[in-house]
A = this chain, B = another copy of it.
Amino acid sequence: MPNDTLSPVAMLCLAILFRGDRTGYEIRKESVDGDYKYFAEASYGAIYPALARLAADGHVTVREEHQSGRPSKKIYAITAAGRTALLDLLAEPPAPDIFRSRFLLVAKFAAELPRSVVAAALETRRRTLTEEIAHLEEIAGDEGPAVDWIANYGITCMRASLAYLEAREADLLALAQAPVANAAE
């Protein structure tokens, strides 16, 4: 195990493999659709090299499963060293959470944007929140107490967000530019 600075994607892979064996393909799906999306999202171009490297470093093992007609599956499994590495990393720094909102930037410029744009942003945000809440409600209770805890955390935060949006969207729309033909001064 030469180098020891796990990249975020490598950490993601270890976290997912901690719960069970997976292929690179499955890891990517879980990172995009599953609950791990709140930690990181990764594409194939990041996952496959990360996995290769984790294998070289002894953090995971590979078992190849040949299939007819398809490229043979590589099923990765975490090793004891991999578990330790992940847990050590999690114990380490309480790195801050990140929230990046394009929506909030639109809101900040509400007074300079046409009403239709602000309305669309509001609508999109509302729909996304509704969908994510529904998704979290599904997984809550299915996968043990820790997942339940974080699912409810998400639900709580998003419900508050949605409630604010619904209560005050009219105020934001009122700031926006009237939907006339062209906003020439």
Q: How many copies of this chain? A: 2
State how many angstroms separate the Cβ of A57 from the closest Cβ of chain B. Answer: 20
How many chain A residues touch the partner (CB < 8 A)?
A: 57
Residues of chain B with a CB closer than 8 A to A66's CB: none
Residues of chain B with a CB closer than 8 A to A101's CB: 38-39, 97-98
A134 beta carbon closer than 8 Å to chain B: no
For A164-185 the 0/1 string (1 means CB < 8 A from B) is 1100100110010000000000
Residues of chain B with a CB closer than 8 A to A124's CB: 94
Residues of chain B with a CB closer than 8 A to A108's CB: 15, 35, 146-147, 150
Among residues 109 to 146 in chain A, which have CB atoms less than 8 Å away from a CB atom of chain B? 109-114, 117, 120-121, 124-125, 128, 144-146
A32 beta carbon closer than 8 Å to chain B: no
Q: Tell which of B38, B103, B114, B175 touches A104, judged by Cβ atoms closer than 8 Å.
A: B38
Interchain Cβ contacts under 8 Å between A and B, 19 examples: A15-B108, A39-B100, A39-B101, A40-B100, A90-B106, A90-B117, A94-B124, A95-B102, A97-B102, A97-B128, A98-B98, A104-B150, A110-B146, A149-B168, A152-B168, A153-B161, A153-B168, A156-B163, A156-B164
